[in-house]
Amino acid sequence: MKLLTSEDLIAAGYDPGPAFKAMFEKIDEYQARGISDKKYALKLLKRDFAPPPPKSVMREKAIRFSEAILPESKEEKVNVAVVRKKMTELLKTPVIARGAIMPDACPAGKATADIPVGGAIAVENAIIPSAHSADICCSMFATFYEERSSVSKEMDALVTSTRFGPGHRHLDDLVDDPVLDEDVWNNRFLYGMRDRAHAHLADQGDGNHFAYMGEVDVTPEMLAMLRLTRHGDLADSLSPKKYRVLVTHHGSRSLGAHVYKRGQAVALKHVARKGQHIPAAAAWIDAQSPEGRDYWDALQYVARWTKANHRAIHRRFLERIGSRAVAEVGNEHNFVWQRGDMFFHGKGATPAWKDPDGRPQLGLIPLNMAEPILLVLGADQEEFLSFAPHGAGRNLSRTALRKQFRDEASRRHAIEKGTDGLDVRWFCGQPDLSETPIAYKNARAVKAQIAHFGLAEVVAEIRPLGCIMAGDVPKPWLREKELTPKQKRQIEHRKDRRKTRQELHDEW
């Protein structure tokens, strides 16, 4: 049996050709010397026969992408210019066939080829981990239920049902779910992460993740539309009346972040053999390779885990208020979906296509905490890869926004104005200006662009009543500490001494 095969040499970066004969003679020599370790043999071979440097495989010119966005203000135009630059960098990647940007498009990073929020791409037989981001399966989930008490009391129950902020649930307060017992933990991308997955159940994290309480009027017209579009299962669960609705928004927490980290490492290793000058954000995994199949399986598990996470929070909430779920709706918007040989990647993009039976996808599009969440039916606009926006997006970064409100009074006024009339809770204690309505694009304009480009059809609006977000995590080292009695006496003593010295100086 040969120590190294032609496939091994090609995988190591050598081009098939006449040089293989001399290389195999050298390999036979290694084997005769008793070398049996492939990795060591390859190391020696690279010393004796340096592989040629890989050639650049990136396109010289990016393929075109479609735009479902109408920038109006100066800030919006600057924002979209950066988005276009990032998409142009990304769409030089040879495995990407098409691209599109949604009405909520905004930059998501500074690295070359970083896919923007509101960006969508169609990739041929490959998965690009950075195009779904570390927040794998960031998603929406809504439960319709009948109200049991006041908004304030139900919000109190919601606070105790979920968790926000860095870290994970306390180990004495873990939440169980059958999803943890699935036989998936030998997958190379999930190995050793069961405890991590357990610690983050019923945990929403921070940033723009939220738990939103709203209400919706289910009308006969809405039910007729659902039945007409073959969503009779949902229509049959509802009656023409007003319902409360709990909507949660979060991703796969630390579990997904580590799956992404492992996937990105494999992608970088894969493209290093393909060519030079491939940006890290464009690195891909061959979907038909063993690694690609394992990564796809891991992504599917992460999706199931995230849905279980949503349901755990909703279940705990409903138990606390003594209610039950009447109906459920949910969708991912940071993920990868396979359609034929094409892998559709969305970074903050809501699937809006029709399933193989022609039934349009149901989706939830939040705008901001003070605006309704839209329940939509996908319009399957092929020009825009059959996606819709995942929200309202930003025109300014968090830092740039905070610079406009430097003093405490102006920040407090902006927060109070944006949340007036709503029961808004900040789980970590400190309001976060960058998550209030002022931080996001104009909700009405985004909704109008959904209609203008025919991305989706709104069938209902879930009106806001209250919202929980992480908020700013208090930083103890930045707080003004209470002085001890001894420190107060020392300050007074120094003041007296300065006063005495000044009086003596004046007399002199």
In one-letter notation, the amino acid at residue 156 is: D
Neighbouring residues of 335: CB distance < 8 A, sequence distance ≥ 6: 132, 136, 137, 139, 299, 303, 345, 346
Q: Is the pLDDT of residue 476 over 60?
A: no
Residue with tokens 């020392």: 490
Within-domain flag for 187: yes
What are φ and ψ of residue 168, in 5° steps? -140, 180
Count of positions (residues) in the chain: 508
Whether residues 182 and 331 share a domain: the answer is yes
Q: Are residues 23 and 150 in the same domain?
A: no
Given this model, what pLDDT does residue 373 score?
Answer: 97
- Shared domain for 43 and 144, answered yes or no, is no
Number of domains in the chain: 2
Q: Which amino acid is at 489?
A: R
Helix (H) or strand (E) holding 34: none
How confident is the model over 494-500, as a mean pLDDT?
59
**Does one domain contain both 18 and 166?**
no
**Where do we find the tokens 């109190």?**
156
Asked if pLDDT for residue 25 goes beyond 70, the answer is yes
- The verdict on 168 and 23 lying in the same domain is no
In a domain, 83, yes or no: no
Instruction: Inform me whether the pLDDT recorded for 507 exceeds 60.
Output: no
Angle between helices 290-321 and 151-161 (to 10 degrees): 140
Instruction: Decide: residue 82, CB within 10 A, 0-12 exposed, 13-18 middle, 19+ buried.
Output: middle
Q: Is the pLDDT of residue 506 over 80?
A: no
pLDDT tens for residues 413-470?
888 888 899 999 999 988 999 899 999 999 999 999 999 999 999 999 999 999 999 9
**pLDDT of the residue at 477:** 36
* Residue 504 in this model has a pLDDT that exceeds 50: no
Quick one: pLDDT at residue 55? 67
**pTM listed for this prediction:** 0.83
Q: What is the pLDDT of residue 276?
A: 75
pLDDT for 163 beyond 90: yes
User: What is the structure's pLDDT at 502?
Assistant: 53
pLDDT, tens digit (0-9, with 9 covering 90-100), for 238-279 = 999 999 999 999 999 999 999 999 999 999 999 988 877 899
Neighbouring CB atoms inside 10 A of 232's CB total 12
Is the pLDDT assigned to residue 473 strictly greater than 80?
no
Alpha helices in 36-149 (DSSP H): 38-48, 74-90
Structural domain contains residue 285: yes
Of 41-50, 139-148, 280-289, the one with minimum mean pLDDT is 41-50
Task: Burial-class residue 31 by CB neighbours within 10 Å (0-12, 13-18, 19+).
Answer: middle
Do residues 402 and 260 share a domain? yes
Quick one: which of 180, 192, 161 has its CA closest to 261? 192
Does any domain span residue 326? yes
**Residue 54 confidence (pLDDT):** 64
Q: Are residues 291 and 431 in the same domain?
A: yes
- Span 364-385, average pLDDT: 96
| Domain contains 454 | yes
Residue 498 predicted with pLDDT over 70 = no
Q: 27 and 157, same structural domain?
A: no
Task: List Cα–Cα distances, 156 to 6, 110, 306, 423, 468, in angstroms.
Answer: 65, 39, 24, 10, 10
The answer to whether residue 72 sits within a structural domain is no
User: Is 501 a residue whose pLDDT tops 90?
Assistant: no
Of the chain, the percentage scoring pLDDT greater than 90 comes to: 70
CB neighbours of 92 closer than 8 A, spacing ≥ 6?
A: 58, 59, 60, 61, 62, 113, 282
Share of the chain above pLDDT 70, in %: 92
| 79 lies in some domain | no
- The domain in which residue 39 lies consists of 6-48
User: What does the DSSP 8-state code read for residue 383?
Assistant: G
In a domain, 491, yes or no: no
Kindly indicate the confidence band of residue 503, based on its pLDDT and cuts at 50, 70 and 90: low
pLDDT of residue 494: 65
Q: What CATH number does the domain containing 251 carry?
A: 3.90.1860.10
Q: What is the pLDDT of residue 407?
A: 82
